[in-house]
Each structure stands twice: as C-alpha cells, then as structure tokens.
Amino acid sequence: MKNRAFWLGFLLVALVLAGGVSYLASSSPDGLDHTLLQGCEETGSGLTGRCAAQAATDHDLADGPLADYAVAGAEGTTGIAGVIGALLTLAAATGLFWALRRRSRA
C-alpha cells in the first residue's frame, strides 16, 4: 500500500508540473536558436543575411499531433500537450522497466 501511495503521488506531481508549469515556458528563442540566427534578420518571407539557420529544414514530425507544444496546433493547449507528453514518457519508461527487469530464478 505504501508503494502504491508513493507512485500515485509521483504521478500526480508529474502531471501537475507538466500541465501547469508548461504554461510558464518562454516563447522566446533559446540559446541555440539565438546562436543560429546570428548574422540574419527575420522578415515575413524568410531570413536575410548569412547565418546557419538558413540551412535548417522542418523536422519530419513537424506536422505531428503534439508539434510546437500544442495539441493539433491549437493555441492554449500547451498544458494538455505537456500532460500527454508526460503520460507517454511514463508509459514508455514503465514498459522498458518491465521488459528489461531481472526476473527471479525459481
């Protein structure tokens, strides 16, 4: 019973953090984006100048259901996307744990 309470508490904290804190994420470019854009100017039609970001292409999953930290591209769904991502990550980790665990010998 003690382990179950711990894991339920862990799950609750993970989901609250994923759903709540994700709304506080900055929409400003991170350090890598800033570095790649040095030497260029962003215009409505693209980038002008010379910078490493001009060679960038979209990721294969850029049109995926959770792309850009939103559900199906809808604005205001960052928290929901965070909760879905946390659940998927925990499910994958649990599956790997059970698949790779040592089994006791009879």
Asked if the model's pLDDT at residue 106 lies above 70, the reply is no
pLDDT the model gives residue 57: 83
Residues 1-40 pLDDT 10s: 788 999 999 999 999 999 988 888 776 767 888 888 888 8
Place of tokens 């400003």: 28
Q: Which residues pair with 40 in a beta bridge?
A: 49
Q: Is-above-0.85 flag for pTM?
A: no
- Measure the CA–CA gap between 42 and 45, rounded to whole angstroms: 8
Residues in the chain: 106
Mean pLDDT of the 84-91 span? 94
Q: Where are the domains of the chain?
A: 1-20+64-106
